[in-house]
Each structure stands twice: as structure tokens, then as C-alpha cells.
Chain A
């Protein structure tokens, strides 16, 4: 089955899509595609068949999202915790992934036509080497597409991602690019695997489970979360509409909470800058009192220099990441 599914919505679906689109629409939707195995059990087919059907449903859901004007989708494909499953199942899933990424490379023309950019979020080094290379090739080849974005979380857990971000910041401190006092909420967000995406507006989990299972914990802290009882391979356009309706019903209160959070974040940043400046003035001023105007000027110049440091560090980090992917995807790469 292909990554891109052609086809149009039926009349009724189109009508409902247009009605929904009259309200606020999520720009970025995240899915925990749960229930493939339960589906296989229910239908008395093999587990692998359940996973395959799950993938097909993903292609279909992506089309629905595009029809609804949702241009970014993040899915939880494989968790680091999933390595605990039986060897047979893990191997089967790796095979399936290989098959799908090979298919993706074959479909490049189609992906380019639709402008689909594919990103894989997670620690690739935990995967078999041939899969790593395939993933890197897919990511590099669709990098420049910018009409819609599909983020596939593979070998991912949110705690691991946050820890990795902290490790990257510590690397920056080691290299002398940033100071430890530059660490802030905004900087941490920029060091996550998801740095190039806005936070998801809507998170959907299928199959009736009511937990996040270590998925995008940081990014969804002010997202609308919808738990649906349908199994993933049975997910329908109407389920998606229902989730969007939920999002719209919650829109105002969540926007308000986000606004509140943004304000608090700005206050934090200002306070942190102020205390750094105070310390600097204290060290440099031999204990003489400093008047308000020069204090303000010092604050401004400190903020500018911090922003410059952070910008340089983020540039270096991006380059480090790009090199990793490019090295992996180059034909001569020997991992």
C-alpha cells in the first residue's frame, strides 16, 4: 500500500468538512494509533496483518487531514518500550517499516507532487542499520517539501526526547556555545526532535485507552486530548470529524490557558535575564549602586547577547543533526 492515497471525499463528507472548516481548525494533529493487535485478534488474522492494516489506515487518515486543511500530522509508530515485545513481533515490525520506507523512496515523484515532507523523530541509532539508512534517505529526500508534514515517531519516547534535549544543551555548554543560565523553556523546546513543528493542537488516541504512553508529553501540555474507543484500523472520517468537533468545543478555554502560559513564560525569561544582569553588575561594579537607566541598558544588551548565543548554538545543533542524516543517507556510508 502506498503512502499517498488518491481519491476524493463523498458528497456528504465534503459537506461536513466544509461545515467544520467554518470554525477554528487544528493546524497540527497527533495520533496514537492504538488497537492494531486487538483488531487482528478480533478479526482472527495474524498480528502482522493488523499492523499492515494500521499503516493503510494512516495513509487514508492523512488524506482526510489534507481534505480538512490540516497540514501537519505526527504519529506514534514505534516506542522504545516496544522493543520489549517478542522478538518475532519486533522483527516483523522492523520488516514492515523497511518495506514502507522502500516504498516511500519509490514514490518520490508523488510525494514531491503533493509536497509531503517526512520527518522521523526518535533515536535512530537504536534501529537496525539498514533501516537507519533507509529512514535517513527518506528524510533527506523529502526535506525540501513544504506543503504538508508527516512526523513519524520511531524508536521514540517523550522522556527520552526531553533527556536528549537536555543532553544537547549540556553539549552546547561543554562547547562553550551557551551558558547554563541560558537554558529556558523556549530553548528546551528548540532542542527537541520536534523543533521545526508547532505544538500539536489536537492529540487523538484510539482504542479506548486513556493515557499518553510517553508520547509528546512536553508538546501536548496545552493541547486538546481526545480519547476515542474505536480501534485504529477501523478509524473513519467521522471519528476524525468528532475529534475536530471536540477541539472546537474546547478551543476557547485552551487558547486562554495557552495565553496564560505564554505570559508566565515571558515573565520567567525576563526574571532570569534580570538576575543574570544583577549578578554581572554586582561583579563588575565593585558594589557601587547602579542607576536605573544603566541597569536597563545592561539588561537590553544582556538579552541581545543571550539571544545571539542561543541562535549560534541552535545553528550548530541543526548542523550536527543534518550531518548525521546526510552521512547516513550517503551511498558510501559505512555505519
Chain B
């Protein structure tokens, strides 16, 4: 009997995997198809311009993304009821794509989100944070064009004390790795225990707000209100346990070729979330 159960279980899981693959495939197709339709319609209406237009667009599709205009992004940002101050991008899949993540970061910047955090549980982005930075600057130029100089971002290169800062007006981009999560709390705990050991304070002095301000370091970055999780793994994978107390988690199937529309859809979903804060 046990053998039969196991067989059924295996079949069930194969089916589920297939279903999951099909869903993400269709999602990827869906926008490509509407995009094709749109392109055809545009070509038909703007027949005189068709040649040049199609050529230009081909470039866009080849790169696998839709050129977005800054004005569109701005109106999108205004249309959202509630915009998060701090967005976390959690990559929960293998093979990180720098360009795609850089795109999302740039969209966040264009929407006027003040803090963007990037995280993956293997620390890939942290190890290659300079590559990510380059990619962001490149994508920013490409997506926002001549307007890009108006935007500036500050890259907090954490870990060591040496902070590499690239100034970019309002947006602060920070790359996190698992070392900042539990280990960050442990480091803060060590610091507090040391103070107690040296009789500088007592154990009674340790409160939630003391620990919180220690973990916030000097940068005063607010907790992320929204984490966009890319990939099929349903877990936070060690993403800043202290900071995600009230964070809303919204999943997207993958960060590869993620479209602006998917991104906006997730932000719309966030703007409808209501927080009662215990009440």
C-alpha cells in the first residue's frame, strides 16, 4: 500500500511541477503577445513611419524589455495610493541576472522610492556589488535617457566601514547578504554583552529600542515596507529577520525578463494592503 501512496505522490508532484512551469511560461508569453499585438497595431496606424519604428522596436524586444518613459513612470507613481519608502528585492532563485535586477532598481528610483535593498541568500550580489552598481548606472541611462542625470543613487557598500558612496539624488541602494541577518543581531548582542561585562551598563538596560537603534546603525534606514520576492522558493531565506516585522511580501515568478507591468502590478497590490498594527 505504501508503494501505491508513494507512486501517487510522485505523480501528483510531477503534475504540480508541470503546472507551475506552465503558469510561469504563460505569464511570460502573455505580455509578449500583447506586446506583439500592440506593435502590429502601431505599425498599421503609423504606416508611413512603420519602417523606422519597427526597427527601433526590434531593439527593444531583442533586449527583452519594454522601453518605458519617465513621464509614464511618474504618472504611475502618482496613481498609486501608497508608495513604499523602502523596497527590498529578494532573489530566491539561481543564476542572478544583473541587468534584470538593475532594471527593477531603476524603476524604483524613477517612481521615487527612497531606499532599495537587494538581497540573495548566497551573497552573490554582495560579492559582485560593483558589477551591480555599473549595471544600474547603465540601465538608468538607457531607461531614463537624458533625464538620468537628474537621478542619483547612493550605494551603501556595507560590511566594512569603508562606505563607497555614489551619489544619486534621493535613492539609496543597499546590497545585503546573509551576513547582515542573524549575524548582524549576534554582533549587536556581543556589543551589548561586552558593555555589560565591562560594567558600563546592566542587563536591565537592554530594551527593544536599544537593540533596534544598534541594528539600524547610523544610517537610519527605515524597515522595508515591501519585499518583492523573485523566484519559486516560498521563504525569506534569511532576509534581515529583525527588519521584516511588518514587511509585506509579494512574490513574482522570476526576476529574469521581469516586465515593468509585473512590477507595477505588485506595487498596486501593495498599495491596497492595509496594516492594523496589532489593533
Binding site for B on A (CB under 8 A): 18-23, 79-85, 157-160, 162-163, 165-171, 173-174, 178-181, 183-185, 188, 209-214, 217-218, 220-227, 245-246, 248-250, 253-254, 257, 260-261, 264, 268
Contact = CB atoms under 8 A, between A and B. Distances in A.
B277 to A, nearest CB: 6
B196 A174 contact: yes
B23 interface: no
Given A81-B278, A185-B182, A210-B250, A250 B235 contact: yes
B96 interface: no
Contacts of B8: 19, 22
Contacts of B210: 163
A18 B5 contact: yes
Given A18-B5, A166-B206, A218-B241, A173 B277 contact: no
B17 A249 contact: yes
Given A212-B247, A222-B238, A179 B197 contact: yes
Interface string B113-134: 0000000011000000000000
B47 interface: no
Contacts of B207: 163
Contacts of B249: 210-211, 225, 227
Contact of B211 (A163, A179, A264): A163
A254 B194 CA distance: 35
The 3 closest A-B pairs by CB, nearest first: A81-B278, A170-B203, A22-B9
A162 B203 contact: no
Nearest to B275: A211
B2 interface: yes
A213 B20 contact: no
B6 interface: yes
A160 B273 CA distance: 25
A315 to B, nearest CB: 18
Given A221-B238, A224-B235, A169 B193 contact: yes
B6 A211 contact: no
B215 to A, nearest CB: 10
Of B17, B234, B275, most A-chain CB atoms within 10 Å: B234
A13 to B, nearest CB: 14
A21 B20 CA distance: 21
Interface in B205-250: 206-208, 210-212, 232-239, 241-242, 244-250
Contacts of B183: 185, 268
Interface string B182-202: 110110111011101100001
Contacts of B186: 183-185, 188
Interface in B146-161: none
Given A20-B9, A163-B208, A166-B206, 7 more contacts: A157-B245, A159-B242, A163-B207, A180-B193, A181-B190, A188-B186, A253-B235
Contacts of B74: none
Interface in B20-35: 20
B211 A221 contact: no
B193 A162 contact: no
A181 B187 CA distance: 10
A82 B278 contact: yes
A23 B206 contact: no
Contacts of B245: 157-159, 212-214, 217
A131 B150 CA distance: 60
Nearest to A181: B190
22 contacts: A19-B5, A79-B278, A81-B277, A163-B207, A171-B203, A174-B202, A180-B190, A180-B194, A183-B189, A183-B193, A184-B186, A185-B183, A188-B189, A218-B182, A218-B241, A221-B238, A221-B239, A226-B234, A245-B12, A249-B16, A250-B233, A257-B233
B234 A246 contact: yes
A51 B207 CA distance: 31
Contact of B235 (A157, A168, A245, A254): A254
A157 B207 CA distance: 13
A170 B196 contact: yes
A173 B193 contact: yes
Contact of B237 (A209, A221, A226): A221
A166 B182 contact: no
A261 B185 contact: no
A261 B194 CA distance: 26
A221 B273 CA distance: 23
B178 interface: yes
